[in-house]
Structure 1
Amino acid sequence: MLNSSYSYIIVGAGSAGCVLANKLSEDLRSSVLIIEAGGSEDESELMHIPFLSGALQATKHDWAFRTIPQKYACFNMQGKECTWPRGRVLGGSSSINYMHHIRGSRHDFDGWAKEGADGWSYKDVLPYFIKSEDMQIPSLQNSPYHGIGGPLIVSDSKATPLSDKVYRRGMQEMGYDVVDCNGETQIGFCPGQETTKNRERWSTAKAFLRPAMIRPNLHVATNSYVSKIMIKDKKAVGVSMIRNNVKHVIKAEKEVIISAGAINSPKILMLSGIGPKEHLESLGIPLVADLPVGENLEDHINVHMLFRDNTSSAFSPSAISFLKYSLLKSGPLGKTHIEGSAFLKDDDSLLPYAQLSFYSVSGFPSMDEGFIKTLNLDPEVLQRMYDASKNSSIKAGGTFIALCTLLHPKSRGKIRLRSDDPFDSPLIDPKYLDHPDDMKMLLKGIKQLLQLANTTAFRSVGASPLDPYDEYFYPPCKDLPYEADEYWICRVKYNLLAMYHTTSTCRMGAATDNTAVVDPQLRVRGVRDLRIVDASVMRHVPSGNPNAPTIMIAEKAADMIREIDSVKHIREKTANL
């Protein structure tokens, strides 16, 4: 049973919402309701197994969004529509992601502050990263950049000999240092860090929400779909939601906090009359506040490449590995197998321009219905992949996967409503490769990845790039010279993949910034008692996976909301870092 009103209503139990629910319910004088459209993370055994993240996509725990047809990318997808998985479950995307723990560069946050996001510089946010963390990697436990005893468990992702023997040594041969990319500097090779505990996924549902659910002042409403923010006289007074096919209106005594993510947060705002005036008027939605909601969408994009491995060290799932995990919770299924990342720096920028990620998994995916749904691949393309997997040159040895990710694309997309029906999925247009510089910088990173094949470390396992793609996967590109830009431009357009790192659709900014939806305290402009706390408020997509920065934002927002400073001692300790 739900109350008719609460002090705080949090919409979305994802990476940010679970943190907020924990922190705001610490004050037993306040009542907190957190509303989640999906169900419990305990409904799926697969959700707890680190290696099986991909198996959670296109299930009931995934919103399973798709973009509109892209002009310059996703040519191998049906209708040129990229898939965009997002968690629809307690923990949100932290319950279905690949658990790679990357905070971003210190220069990301200093850049936010310079653009008018006062209070979000690196020195301001570092204490909140530290506060969340319980670092399990012995070599990092005494680092002033890491925390011990926080709710978020961070573990070593090393799973195979490739981590040290090939990836680390190869990057060192290329002139890069081995670094803790969540420490003093991000540039270099970073051994993998992942949010797992005892070989299980450690989502924000497990880390933050579950421990708080014993408090009598915290209520959790699952399978509850928020359709609108209730606004009266420019003040958020509650929400309207559908639960068990019944409409409920729940009032908020203090604040409504939207933490539905960079896709659903702008959707809910626009349905409530907060967004671009012309767009809302075209759908007959009464205007409450004319704001650039849904604009400035940023996302990482990547291209993946197979490398031969004559040691067959990369993991290939088997019946034995599943049996080991189910009986003893041991074996390779307990690791993500993302064994490290390398951050590449351009001389003209403080920020890295590309991230190389090394994924120690062997072989091609099987040709099954689940994989078709996961990537929305054209069936003809999928058949070519299946044919390639039977190619004798591949079967003769193992493979592993390397990804090149463009970290700071200049292309900007947008989110729009499809209709005024709250159950319609939004229109998502990331405009991938719309800016010509994005292709140039992605090619630069690809060339660095190809150079790794010439290092002694990569050659020691026969790790030359493996391209059955020419014949099977990319017929339009096969007649182009392999090392020429034209080939790679063709290949990128056909096989570019989204990283699902969507941000900035409700970005924060100064009062004079007409691109901002919220102020630096994350309050929605022109509407009282309404705040947004999730990845949508980021000024720009950070240099790396955004789950850790999203958790940081929620930690900091909780202090703003409660007007307390719970990290004063950490601030003093890290003042000179």
Structure 2
Amino acid sequence: MEGTQFIAVFVLIIAVGYMFFGSEKSVSVVVENVKDEYDFIVIGAGSAGSVIASRLSEKNNVSVLVLEAGGHYDRDPIINVPMYWFSYLKSDFAWDFKSEPQNESFLGLSGRKGSMNRGKLLGGTGSINACLYTRGSPFDFDEWETKNGCKGWGYKDLLPYFKKAEDIRINKLMKSEFHGTGGPIAVSEPVVTPLKEIFIKAGREMGYEENDYNSNVQSGVSAAQLTIRNGVRSSTGQEYLVKIGKRKNLDLSLNSHVTKIDINNKVAKGVYFIKNGRKHYVRTRRDVIVSTGALNSPQLLMLSGIGPKAHLQDLGIPLIQDLPVGQTFDDHVGITLSATINQTLSVTKERIGSHWSAVEYSLFGTGPYSSSLTESTAFFHINKTMQGKARPDIQFILIGCMVSGNEIFNFNDSVADEIHCRIRDLPGFSVNILLLHPKSVGKVTLKSTDPFDSPIFELNHFSKEQDIEELLAGIRLFEVFTSTEIMKSIGTDISINKASFCSHHEFRSDDFWKCMIRHVGVNFSHTTSTCKMGPGNDQTSVVDLELKVHGIKGLRVCDASVLPTVTSGNPNAPIIAVAEKAADIIFRRMK
């Protein structure tokens, strides 16, 4: 079967499998018209907003409105098929923001601009990410308490909320004290290729233990834990909002872009939003909760008069509260390297396009379509003596195929052709090497007073030489990893990473790898801390320890932007836990 006829049948088979293995088609929570007033208005139905809205609406005596700028994920029949996640990063389901041109990095990216992909749909970025469930290091949260003054947000405080949100579906972890069962978000371990066990054995050869990285010990190597249920993505939009069905006290309005928070005498009174080309206004009796993510939340606060005084005055925005909104921009930076192997162990284009892969997914919910192809992950310390004493420095995300094309990042055409397209059909694997705690910090500011304009993202990646040196150390760990005996046994070869634009340096020399970092190093869209949490005496914070905006009544922020620092790993899981805790904080204040 050739061409469009094959594609049509293929998509149909996949869609049938997706529907069979867990799609929830109920949209009864969605309303076209909103009431004039609600107790709580939640702006954004992403990883945090979906959670907090669902939990608040469990109380029958309060009313909740959720305003989401994007649409429903069910507009696309295969969006919750995990393998297709990268296909939506530059679609109508995403805010396809770009950073400002960078001076010290992104030399191989189009316009030297990084991609700032975020979900613009029910479930937010959690509906289009790679499903990797990573809580972070216990040291992350304990440092929130000890270094950032966020009392009550340490590891022991957040662990119950990680467990509350989780429905662990990995047999060996079912009875673990660190995992929860029966929660909304499924966490599973899809088996796609033999590379998973090979990766783990390679880590052991390096002297690292196989571990549960979502326990109290993160360092080591282990199989990836993914937010997938029966081969279908498990997002907060689906699990917390759609699956609960209609509640009389909960309304969800889609395609509703909030343009401004109405603040009078330093009290949040309501919000303005655009829907179907018309401007609307809705009042709140209790709180407005901003949950539009680390990129959009600072924009909305600044448009509403909350932000750095000088910046708002330059744009002619009346100042309501002078706060350092957008002035701390934390993210992970890193590089993706690949390796060829001489055995047919990985997922290739041929396997993805086979009839059997489609049928396997349709009948059993297994195979390459049932996973984001993230096989395993590892967390390393550059100084191994710090293991068990501090949070890790480097994360490996090990992918059971050769990353190809330019769907995820913003490489210019020549780099994309040389580094990626040539490996499309080869057996092998790729590794995302992430620097977990870079010293370079960026910021978010407004381009204009138009709420539909993209904000300005000054990333400043690799402006600190220490970040280059530490990522180089991560690449050296990759070299050790790929030269282990188990890796040699499958013919692992990393010479495919040779690049003409760095060929004036000896391959694998320090200068060569630093050249590669400058050219193809990227941000991994794990942005946090743009409206960071902190006590009242913390001049860098925007919200207090109950996520209330300093100096403003009835206004909270709850999403990635409030994290005091970026966590050690993909931030979706901690964002969900923070939202669970935020709901409990609000409940306590309601009594």
Task: Flag whether TM exceeds 0.5 (same fold).
Answer: yes
Aligned with residue 127 of structure 1, among 153, 160, 167: 160
**Residue in 1 aligned with 2:263?**
231
**Residue in 2 aligned with 1:413?**
442
Q: Partners in 2 of 1:171 and 1:387 — Cα distance? A: 29
CA contact (8 A) 2:401 2:427 kept: no
**Residue in 2 aligned with 1:377?**
411
Query: Which amino acid is the alignment partner of residue 120 of structure 1?
Result: W
Q: Partners in 2 of 1:157 and 1:433 — Cα distance? A: 35
Aligned with residue 175 of structure 1, among 177, 191, 207: 207
Q: Determine if the alignment matches structure 1 residue 295 to structure 2 residue 320.
A: no
CA contact (8 A) 2:191 2:367 kept: no
Q: Partners in 2 of 1:23 and 1:111 — Cα distance? A: 27
**How far does the alpha carbon of each residue in 1:18-77 deviate from its partner, in whole angstroms, 9 at most, with x for none?**
001110000111000001000001111231111111001110000001000011111111
Query: Which amino acid is the alignment partner of residue 161 of structure 1?
Result: P
Q: Which moved more, 1:453-462 or 1:266-275?
A: 453-462
Q: Determine if the alignment matches structure 1 residue 362 to structure 2 residue 396.
A: no
Q: Partners in 1 of 2:37 and 2:532 — Cα distance? A: 29
CA contact (8 A) 1:352 1:407 kept: yes
CA RMSD of aligned residues (A): 1.7
SS at match of 1:183: coil
Q: Partners in 1 of 2:446 and 2:244 — Cα distance? A: 35
Q: Partners in 2 of 1:443 and 1:409 — Cα distance? A: 13
**Residue in 1 aligned with 2:353?**
318
Q: Partners in 1 of 2:35 and 2:221 — Cα distance? A: 51
**Residue in 1 aligned with 2:106?**
74
**Residue in 1 aligned with 2:372?**
336
CA contact (8 A) 2:68 2:257 kept: yes
Aligned with residue 295 of structure 2, among 263, 287, 291: 263
Deviation of residue 363 (structure 1)? 6.1
Deviation of residue 8 (structure 1)? 0.1
Distance 1:530-1:363 versus aligned 2 partners, 3 A rule: closer
**How far does the alpha carbon of each residue in 1:59-111 deviate from its partner, in whole angstroms, 9 at most, with x for none?**
00000010000111111111100111100000000000000000000000000
SS at match of 2:60: coil
Q: Determine if the alignment matches structure 1 residue 136 to structure 2 residue 165.
A: no
SS at match of 2:361: helix
**Residue in 1 aligned with 2:553?**
528
CA contact (8 A) 1:212 1:218 kept: no
Query: Which amino acid is the alignment partner of residue 315 of structure 1?
Result: V
How many residue pairs were aligned? 550
Aligned with residue 147 of structure 1, among 175, 180, 193: 180
**Residue in 1 aligned with 2:485?**
456
Q: Determine if the alignment matches structure 1 residue 105 to structure 2 residue 137.
A: yes
Q: Determine if the alignment matches structure 1 residue 2 to structure 2 residue 27.
A: no
**How far does the alpha carbon of each residue in 1:139-175 deviate from its partner, in whole angstroms, 9 at most, with x for none?**
00000000011111100133211111x2011000000
SS at match of 1:563: helix
Query: Which amino acid is the alignment partner of residue 580 of structure 2?
Result: E
Matches within 5 A, 1:9-158: 9-114=41-146, 115-158=148-191
**Residue in 1 aligned with 2:193?**
160
Q: Partners in 2 of 1:386 and 1:541 — Cα distance? A: 29
**Residue in 1 aligned with 2:521?**
496
Query: Which amino acid is the alignment partner of residue 160 of structure 1?
Result: T
CA contact (8 A) 2:347 2:427 kept: no
Q: Partners in 2 of 1:387 and 1:563 — Cα distance? A: 54
TM-score, normalised to structure 2, is 0.91
Q: Partners in 2 of 1:21 and 1:363 — Cα distance? A: 37
CA contact (8 A) 2:68 2:255 kept: yes
**Residue in 2 aligned with 1:562?**
587
Aligned with residue 338 of structure 2, among 306, 316, 320: 306
Q: Partners in 1 of 2:306 and 2:191 — Cα distance? A: 46
Deviation of residue 362 (structure 1)? 3.3
Aligned with residue 218 of structure 2, among 167, 182, 186: 186
Aligned with residue 453 of structure 2, among 421, 424, 440: 424
Deviation of residue 343 (structure 1)? 0.5
Q: For structure 1, list consecutive stretches of 5 or more residues without a partner in the other structure.
A: 366-370, 567-577
SS at match of 1:46: coil
Q: Partners in 2 of 1:281 and 1:205 — Cα distance? A: 37
CA contact (8 A) 1:298 1:502 kept: yes
Q: Partners in 2 of 1:564 and 1:190 — Cα distance? A: 41
Deviation of residue 378 (structure 1)? 1.4
CA contact (8 A) 1:103 1:549 kept: yes
Distance 1:237-1:387 versus aligned 2 partners, 3 A rule: closer
Aligned with residue 474 of structure 2, among 421, 445, 451: 445
Q: Partners in 2 of 1:386 and 1:377 — Cα distance? A: 10
SS at match of 2:586: helix
Q: Partners in 2 of 1:517 and 1:387 — Cα distance? A: 44
**Residue in 2 aligned with 1:519?**
544
SS at match of 2:118: coil
Q: Which moved more, 1:415-424 or 1:432-441?
A: 432-441
Q: Which moved more, 1:354-363 or 1:425-434?
A: 354-363
CA contact (8 A) 1:158 1:191 kept: no
Q: Partners in 2 of 1:362 and 1:476 — Cα distance? A: 21
CA contact (8 A) 2:98 2:457 kept: yes
**Residue in 1 aligned with 2:306?**
274
Query: Which amino acid is the alignment partner of residue 461 of structure 1?
Result: I
Deviation of residue 376 (structure 1)? 2.6
Percent identical pairs in the alignment equals 39
